[in-house]
Chain A
Amino acid sequence: MLQNFESRDGDYTEVVPPVPIPNTEVKCLKADGSRKARVGSPHLCIQSLSLWPVGLARGDAYLYNMGMRGLVSKRKFAIGTVVVLFLLSLNLISSQVREFVTSVSSPLQVSLWQAGKNISTFFGGGSLRTENEVLRQENFSLMQKVISLQDVESENEELRRMLELGLVEEFRMVMAEVIGKNLGEDVITIRGGQNQGIQKGMPVIASGTIAVGKVVESFSDHARVQLISADAGRTDAQIAGTETTGVVRGEGGQKLMLDLVPQEDELGMGDIVVTSNLGGVFPKNLLIGEITEILKAGADPFQKANVKPFFSLKSLETVFVITSLASPDLLDLRP
């Protein structure tokens, strides 16, 4: 039985199925005597001494083609390797790279920051917003006083006096303006660096004694601050006015979670979470946030809670870097 098949170049070639003929014995059946034939299945089209599988879908043909010439050429592979090595080697001098880029970008960044601020104030309510911010700060200040008073109630008057005499230290703080924010990674850039006495690891707070984060990189006139809500952030914390302690973990996107709180400890909605002096980064009793949701699992030895941070990254414009921090166990923010 004879049958016609359309070949790759569009002409018609006579074939003789169904007797399968090995590919090595391809017959030339064209009248013009050219080296083209298709026999049996699977079959090959032999043209100009090149082999090409016939009847493959376009994707298969593409893969075949890729396989023939290799997924990537040696040259491209070499270029790719060089690029990867170059990028990774930049990590060795990441501080210098970042300092250079930040320094170069600083003027433009400050201008755009100011422009954005003006536009935001214009469209966002102007004086009402400012007033709201002032009231918020006042609220935090009052909250701080309440927490301090709760502590005072729970302690003996004489012991408290002794603590105040011996343990309360004066901080030296540097005020720094926020000039850049990376909302995705909870990192801010502040105007103030080594020239102002700001060093890596120093705690950063906002007005109202709200814990904000810590300095992760310090350049000559700028510093990068990782917020406590950053993914890698871990802050030792306790519930204000109680002995309940835990660890506040950053979850990115300005979200916090209080973890490692023993099941037997009582957590309540709206409880205020403050820093404890265990971590060695922050002084005791800095405000962190408020519990918004308690997560208890029966099998888990610890309970967790979602915490809404008190600082608002959007309205954060000025921060304070604590530059002289004594031994953490000697520090206490109580008045």
Chain B
Amino acid sequence: MKQAITVFLALYVFAILQMSFFVHVFPNGLAPNLIILSVVLLSIFERRDSYASFAAALFGGLLLDVFSGGIIGFWSLGLGSASLLIKLVLEDYVRIPILKKF
């Protein structure tokens, strides 16, 4: 539970950072999308039976939806699907033995 709250808080801070801080720091709008990055990394490194990355994808996507002004659900469902796809591919077709799952 504590871990989930930490992840959700981090995603929230990332979303705000992206909207405010990064606009000034990164030139020409080439700021990294930390939410997408986090979801991808979580999906890669989490345990097989865990769905934390999926939940994080939905929450992070929801934040992107809310801050973007578009249809709510576009980013959440997109990121959620991407997270599940990454897990599916990694579980069944890729083996990275040196990486420790958490």
Contacts and interface: CB of A to CB of B under 8 A. Distances in A.
B70 interface: yes
A181 B19 contact: yes
Contacts of B28: 314
Contacts of B63: 101
A84 B71 CA distance: 13
Interface string B1-28: 0000000000011001101111111011
Contact of B69 (A112, A182, A254, A314): A182
B31 A183 contact: yes
Contacts of B66: 97-98, 101
Task: Name B's interface SS.
Answer: helix
Contacts of B31: 183
A181 B70 contact: no
B24 A109 contact: no
Given A88-B73, A314-B28, A187 B21 contact: no
Given A182-B68, A224-B69, A109 B29 contact: no
A268 to B, nearest CB: 28
B69 A116 contact: no
B44 interface: no
A1 interface: no
B73 A314 contact: no
Interface string A83-118: 110011011001001100100010011101101110
Contact of A185 (B12, B69, B76, B80): B69
Given A112-B16, A117-B24, A88 B72 contact: yes
Given A87-B72, A88-B73, A313-B29, A113 B21 contact: yes
Interface in A147-198: 179-185, 187, 189
Interface residues of A, number: 41
Q: Which 5 residue pairs are nearest across A and B when measured between Cβ atoms?
A: A116-B24, A120-B24, A183-B29, A87-B73, A116-B21
Interface of A: 58-59, 62, 83-84, 87-88, 90-91, 94, 97-98, 101, 105, 108-110, 112-113, 115-117, 119-120, 179-185, 187, 189, 216-217, 224, 226, 253-254, 313-314
28 contacts: A58-B92, A59-B92, A59-B93, A83-B80, A87-B58, A87-B62, A87-B76, A90-B62, A91-B71, A91-B73, A94-B72, A97-B72, A105-B12, A110-B20, A112-B20, A112-B21, A113-B23, A116-B21, A117-B24, A180-B19, A181-B19, A183-B23, A183-B29, A183-B31, A185-B68, A185-B70, A224-B69, A253-B29
